[in-house]
Structure 1
Amino acid sequence: MAVASLFVEGSGSEKVLRSGLKTVVGNGMRSTFWDLNIKENGQLRNACPRIYALATRKQGVISDFERWRGTQWVWDVSLRRPLFDWENEQWRVFLSCLDCINIRNSIPDILTWLHKPDGKFTPLCCVLYVFELVLPILASRSSVGSAG
């Protein structure tokens, strides 16, 4: 089985494996804007569902939602309509989520593997991690089978 097949959406392994991956944002050229994990709030689209619903652009990488004004990063998120008064607080929450994103124009975005100290993902480290998860289950089944 290929390692990539473990990431099939809806598979039990997908959630476990994705929890070990973290995007470190650099220049925003590879990281998907709405899928960014914003601290404890999860993905940006889930942390700010109203703003996501109003956004004209639902897909794209971070760099599609920004522009540099001189040396300053300016977010460029277009909405389908002006905000109602009751939505202004949600917009402020959205902007505070964006403030958590540290853009560094000089380095590329990278994907790190949280289950390895150096953060480098390899198929072998993925297999070893899955083996660590499965080994206790296999051991308990083995002891149940030999008890009978």
Structure 2
Amino acid sequence: MENLEFQLGEGESTSFWNHHWTGSLTLADQFPRLFRLSNNPGGSIKSMGTWNDGVWEWNLEWRRILLDREKDQVSALLSSINNFKLVKGKPDGWKWKLLPDGCFTVKSAYKAICDGVCAPQQKNHALSVIWNAPATHNAKVTAWRMMCGRMATIDNLLKRQVPIPNSEIVCKLCYLEDEDTEHLFFSCQKSTEIWYVILSWLGVQSALPSSKTAHFLAFINLGRKKDVRFLSGAWICVVWCIWKQRNRCIFDQGSWIKEKIVAEIKSRLWGWQKTFQMGSLPSDFRSWFEAVSLVD
């Protein structure tokens, strides 16, 4: 329930006394004596007042004339509910806090579950491996920002209240789904093709998760322990090249050519493995370009 948030509308479907609309306790629990004295103990919020020139006014009715100490409790009750604003004509409902539009999706729930399984120790471990990976500084910063949810992807821009037309929220690689971090890098059919080609190049077969932390940890453990250093650099390189090509498609009217992107990834990794001494890998470029098998 931590990702759900109740949003009060006009109060028609919410019980004034018996629902948790003001906090962790119901008003019946907070003010039991007034609850017993109420003339409408099962009534909705909407039934407890009226609209007067567009302004909501509470009109609580009691079974008898209240004593002075009971009137003090009424004052405390009104003080506790006056900050809650009803919205005329809007139904009560729940907001899914993980998405900007507040609407629940199975995809976002699955992502939350995956992130919950991996966080926080595994996420911290992933960030540490990324920061110490054999890759250029800019590429590591890109991967680190993506892992921390700080990339300027459409979903993150919407969370920051950046106005984006509905026509611009679609993924510019596949044009099939709205762009968010996990989709762009790990589940978009275009980026997924890149990952499968790279897996084949490495001589391994594996189904990778779509959650960023789980994806990274699964990828760097595809080989042996001695391969983790190289694989962390390879993962960063793929993420970086996908991001660069995404930006070319948006800002430079570039086109997505799988073979060209894969070649860029392999070429950059060739330079990185020479610079950062990634281990015993093919020494000539032709052999490197054809295959880097992690399997003996």
Hey, which of these two has a bigger chunk of helix by percent?
A: 2
Aligned CA distance change for structure 1 residues 49 and 129 (closer, same or farther; 3 Å): farther
Aligned to 2:87: 104
Aligned CA distance change for structure 1 residues 42 and 123 (closer, same or farther; 3 Å): farther
Aligned to 1:38: 22
Aligned CA distance change for structure 1 residues 121 and 87 (closer, same or farther; 3 Å): same
Task: Provide the aligned C-alpha RMSD in A.
Answer: 2.9
Give the Cα separation in 2 of the matches to 1:78 and 1:115: 40
Aligned CA distance change for structure 1 residues 114 and 42 (closer, same or farther; 3 Å): farther
Higher relative contact order (CA 8 A, sep 6+): 1
Hey, which of these two has a bigger chunk of strand by percent?
A: 1
SS at match of 2:5: strand
Aligned to 2:76: 93
SS at match of 1:97: helix
Taking structure 1 as the reference length, the TM-score comes to 0.61
Aligned CA distance change for structure 1 residues 122 and 58 (closer, same or farther; 3 Å): farther
SS at match of 2:102: coil
SS at match of 1:102: coil
Give the Cα separation in 2 of the matches to 1:45 and 1:115: 31
Aligned to 1:8: none
Give the Cα separation in 2 of the matches to 1:112 and 1:93: 28
Deviation per CA, 1:95-145: give whole Å up to 9, x if none.
11220220111432221234666533356766776788799xxxxxxxxxx
Number of aligned residue pairs: 119
Aligned to 1:23: 6
Aligned CA distance change for structure 1 residues 98 and 20 (closer, same or farther; 3 Å): same
Taking structure 2 as the reference length, the TM-score comes to 0.34
Deviation per CA, 1:34-90: give whole Å up to 9, x if none.
214324x62222222221121121113211111122322121221111111122221
Work out which of the two has the higher radius of gyration on C-alpha atoms and give 1 or 2.
2
Aligned to 1:55: 38
Which amino acid in the other structure matches residue 26 of structure 2?
Answer: Q
5+ residue gaps, structure 2: 119-296
- Give the fraction of aligned pairs with identical amino acids, expressed as a percent: 26
